[in-house]
Structure 1
Amino acid sequence: MNKRMQLYNRLHKLNTAQIITLGFAGVIILGGLLLWLPFCTAPGYHTSFTDAMFTATTSVCVTGLVTVVTATQWTLIGKIIILVLIQIGGVGLISLGSIIFISLRKKISLRNRRIIQESYNMDRMSGMVNLVRKVLLCVLGAEGIGAVCYSFRFIPQFGPVKGIGYSVFTAVSAFCNAGIDLIGEDSLAPYVADPVVNFTTIGLVIMSGLGFVVWWDIWDKIKQVVRGKLPLNRAFKTLRLHSKMVLVMTVSLIVGGTVLIFLFEHGNIYSIGAYSTGTKWMASLFQSVTTRTAGFFTVGQDRFSNATYLLCLVLMLIGGSPMGTAGGIKTTTVAVLLLGLKSNLQGKKDVEVHHRRIRDSYIRSAIVVTGMAFGVLIVMSILLCAVMPKTAVQDVVYEITSAVATVGLTRGLTPQLNAIGKWIVILTMYLGRIGPLTLGTAVTVRAQKMPSDSHLAAEDIMIG
């Protein structure tokens, strides 16, 4: 009894970062054990424990890298388990737990409300229950619309039952930025010239990548415009600073990525050079969007030129925006770093944008997140090169960048990984999903704090 009380007290003292870290690990382990069971593997196939854990990790971490072909490796039960794991990873463990409590009409404690607040990085604790309801409504609504759009293509091709199943699975995977599909080994490559599949996927990825806070802010301004309370030409100016930064960064990355990929690849017959001009632009747009953590592809990643390869590395690492389903270091993080660089070059004391000042704490957080992401990228790339010495370094870097940013794109290396290499990628996906900052907070031992009114003596050093 005393041991149970001690365990309970230890669990109760866990902070939000530790709860998220352990929670995701628990779901991954449970999912891996379930997928390892014989009834989850299709007849004629064998699933190793490593492949089961890899699949569970890539599903919960909504990455999309797979060591086995999802369409043929798993039974219907296995595919349903993968779909559930994707949904858990996309919506978030904390949100799903809160949704269960709400549905059971259980009261959410003050501590649990604080956990929800910190997991979504919200400024206020008020309205947390309503926040969770809105998240669930947005997720199910977007996935439902996506499934309907996909059904116009998949039902005629695969029949009613399989077509609906493929539509639902692909919609959930696209909105959650998982990039796992049931089509086959070539992802969405058979639909490179299909506008229905392309634009449905692009729409789901962009919407989920914006983040729910931006959704609600935009929707609020739309309602004000429709009701005549807000002029249309002032709608953008009245958005929250967060929304403005997310929208500007998202549009810039998508448009810039699309144009550059088209310029780099329009004459490359191995990638998009053989397609019509319209298909070239659509494939370029799809590649620009999917590198923002989606994981689907309509053109094989090993077919692109070196210029596009480097561009995709940058886009993957940046990823989507906070409080969404995307990975990466996030658009706002990059925006804050660029604004900080600009302010320092101009000799300004404060980092300013849209007539607002960015708090110093956000700048420090952006530096920590970026630094830890690059740290994980470098260390894991070195380890993977060490255990797979014959593999081209560019393929290793692409693989690890894709894993740490939870993108799911590969240049063909994932199915060729050896056992140790798979576990390195598993750990990388896990670190990428829970976030470098969350992990750092969870494992850092509390140090003695100095009094707030005391400062150490300053001393100059040389920089650059």
Structure 2
Amino acid sequence: MRRKIFLRLDPPKVLVYGFGVIILLGTLLLSLPSSTVDGKGLPFLDALFTATSATCVTGLVVVDTGDTFTRFGEMVILSMIQIGGLGFMSFATLFAFILGKRISFKERLIIQESLNNATVEGIVRLVKRIFLFTAVVEITGGTILSMRFSEEMAAGKAIYFGFFHAVSNFNNAGFDLMGSFKGLTEYAEDPIVNITMISLISLGGIGFIVMNELFEYRSTKTISLHSKIVLAISGVLIFGGALLIFILEYNNPSTLKPLTMTGKIFGAIYQAVTPRTAGSNTLNIPDLQQSTLFLIICLMFVGASPGSTGGGIKTTTFAVLIGAVKSQIRGQEDVTFFGRRMEQSIISKSLTVTLIALFLVFTITMILTITESGKDFLMIFFETVSAFSTVGLSMGLTPELSSIGKILITITMFAGRVGPLTLAFAVTKKKKENHYRYPAGKVMIG
């Protein structure tokens, strides 16, 4: 019977229900007395919020991770981060490999949907590569961080901290164990921590499709249009964002001004990289200038790239929209990148994703201004975009959210992780094919 139900479900519904089941399981585990230091377990709503944040690789927390949870609770969170980052269907595929089972075509379609891949061809091989890449990157990052943390911690704690933060940041989750909601601010000028974290976040954010093509480049000598756009836009957003943050925060006595020139550069780059949906920070977010905070909101909304561990509307969506505007201004009929034309369906999908995302963000923000009355609007807007884009940065609002506010942010994180379009497909009826077309009409625009 379970098999029949599974076969009747569309891939978007399977993804939505799958993430829902993982979140509920995580909620129950975090509610256990053994999960928290005080031996009481988290209240249900706080456990639900934390489980959603971990599974949706967001990083927003209502309680400090390092101060509140036992090792068991932290490992529950880390497990949800890993499953949520790579996708539960990727893990289901891994177990099928281990058990020697065949991957059905329906399961391949679901994997394709979860990885946002253009085709089902080679999808199983890609999943194998994903686990290979993940293992190599997380082990390398964890080893480097463990060696650095061992200079100020006992060896066992350093290894645990090193690998926890490597997994968390590669999956763009942003959970940390430093305590007191201070993030990585103590390492703002540390070159090893900064370079390692920036590398982990960037690799997790460009997407496994791009990583796979870069891995195969020595033999293929080709890079797809998708990867070219992802790399180009990611480079512009990171270095452009870092330059603007450097300028805006250079004389801010609460952020960059007290740091050395090297620290200023690291601080600017880190804060430009982390809105790509990572959520960890080396500068205190509430102390940033309002102009910088608004810039970070824009970077968060764009987010990471398709098929990655991050959220947002994605770099390719942003690129297509910019290309469409550019072609309209120039009076060109086609939207082109690197000598290739974009199909109208891609432009329409990009517009749809962006409008749904804006509608969700604006709606949640408006409701939060009512439920969280008395809070600064920029703080509320920042929190909502961070939740939707599964970033995890906060101006300090998360621990102070009302019960309704926690529920709204939980829904926003979930919608951001599964994707606004996937969620829309999951909750609507299966589309019917029309055998007719209406007469064309004209509307004045602009």
Smaller-chain TM-score range?
over 0.9
> What's the CA shift for 1:22?
0.6
Asked if 1:396 is matched to 2:391, the reply is no
Match of residue 103 from structure 1: 98
Asked if 1:178 is matched to 2:173, the reply is yes
Query: Could you tell me how far apart the structure 2 residues matched to 1:123 and 1:389 are?
Result: 44
Partner amino acid, structure 2, of 1:437 = L
Query: Could you tell me how far apart the structure 2 residues matched to 1:388 and 1:94 are?
Result: 37
Q: What SS does structure 2 have at the residue aligned with 1:368? A: helix
> What's the CA shift for 1:262?
0.5
> What's the CA shift for 1:278?
1.3
Q: How does 1:32-431 map to 2 (within 5 A)?
A: 32-43=27-38, 47-184=42-179, 185-223=181-219, 238-431=222-415
Question: Is the 8 Å Cα contact of residues 87 and 176 (structure 1) preserved in structure 2?
Answer: yes
Partner amino acid, structure 2, of 1:417 = L
> What's the CA shift for 1:223?
4.7
Match of residue 418 from structure 2: 434
Question: Is the 8 Å Cα contact of residues 259 and 284 (structure 1) preserved in structure 2?
Answer: yes
Partner amino acid, structure 1, of 2:32 = L
> What's the CA shift for 1:249?
0.2
Partner amino acid, structure 1, of 2:206 = L
More deviation in 268-277 or 24-33?
Answer: 268-277
Say if 1:441 and 1:162 are closer, same or farther in 2 by CA, change over 3 A: same
Query: Could you tell me how far apart the structure 2 residues matched to 1:112 and 1:61 are?
Result: 21
Note the alpha carbon deviations across 1:410-445, whole angstroms, 9 max, x for none: 001111111111111111100110100000110112
Query: Could you tell me how far apart the structure 2 residues matched to 1:129 and 1:105 are?
Result: 13
Say if 1:75 and 1:197 are closer, same or farther in 2 by CA, change over 3 A: same
Query: Could you tell me how far apart the structure 2 residues matched to 1:408 and 1:135 are?
Result: 24
Query: Could you tell me how far apart the structure 2 residues matched to 1:76 and 1:183 are?
Result: 14
Match of residue 437 from structure 2: 455
Partner amino acid, structure 2, of 1:204 = L
Query: Could you tell me how far apart the structure 2 residues matched to 1:123 and 1:448 are?
Result: 23
More deviation in 108-117 or 397-406?
Answer: 108-117
Partner amino acid, structure 2, of 1:34 = L
Q: What SS does structure 1 have at the residue aligned with 2:336? A: strand
Question: Is the 8 Å Cα contact of residues 146 and 160 (structure 2) preserved in structure 1?
Answer: no
Question: Is the 8 Å Cα contact of residues 15 and 110 (structure 2) preserved in structure 1?
Answer: no
Q: What SS does structure 2 have at the residue aligned with 1:257? A: helix
Question: Is the 8 Å Cα contact of residues 27 and 60 (structure 1) preserved in structure 2?
Answer: yes
Name stretches of at least 5 consecutive residues in structure 1 with no aligned partner.
225-229, 231-237
Query: Could you tell me how far apart the structure 2 residues matched to 1:9 and 1:330 are?
Result: 34
Q: What SS does structure 1 have at the residue aligned with 2:150? A: helix
Pairing partner for 1:443 from 427, 431, 437: 427
TM-score where L is the length of structure 2: 0.97
Query: Could you tell me how far apart the structure 2 residues matched to 1:411 and 1:122 are?
Result: 34
Partner amino acid, structure 2, of 1:72 = D
Note the alpha carbon deviations across 1:207-261, whole angstroms, 9 max, x for none: 111111111222222456xxxxx6xxxxxxx421111101110110011001000
> What's the CA shift for 1:120?
2.2
Match of residue 233 from structure 1: none
Query: Could you tell me how far apart the structure 1 residues matched to 2:166 and 2:183 are?
Result: 14
Q: What SS does structure 2 have at the residue aligned with 1:291? A: helix
Match of residue 28 from structure 1: 23
> What's the CA shift for 1:60?
0.1
> What's the CA shift for 1:447?
4.5
Partner amino acid, structure 2, of 1:435 = G
Question: Is the 8 Å Cα contact of residues 34 and 41 (structure 2) preserved in structure 1?
Answer: no
Query: Could you tell me how far apart the structure 1 residues matched to 2:114 and 2:277 are?
Result: 20
Query: Could you tell me how far apart the structure 1 residues matched to 2:122 and 2:224 are?
Result: 18
Query: Could you tell me how far apart the structure 1 residues matched to 2:219 and 2:238 are?
Result: 27
Say if 1:311 and 1:221 are closer, same or farther in 2 by CA, change over 3 A: same
> What's the CA shift for 1:351?
1.1
Partner amino acid, structure 1, of 2:161 = Y
Partner amino acid, structure 2, of 1:208 = G
TM-score where L is the length of structure 1: 0.93
Question: Is the 8 Å Cα contact of residues 320 and 350 (structure 2) preserved in structure 1?
Answer: yes
How many aligned positions are there? Answer: 445
> What's the CA shift for 1:114?
2.0
Q: What SS does structure 2 have at the residue aligned with 1:411? A: coil
> What is the root-mean-square deviation in Å for CA atoms of aligned residues?
1.4
Name stretches of at least 5 consecutive residues in structure 2 with no aligned partner.
none
> What's the CA shift for 1:121?
2.9
Say if 1:121 and 1:46 are closer, same or farther in 2 by CA, change over 3 A: closer
Q: What SS does structure 2 have at the residue aligned with 1:157? A: coil
Q: What SS does structure 2 have at the residue aligned with 1:158? A: coil
Please tell me whether Structure 1 or Structure 2 has the larger radius of gyration of its CA atoms.
1
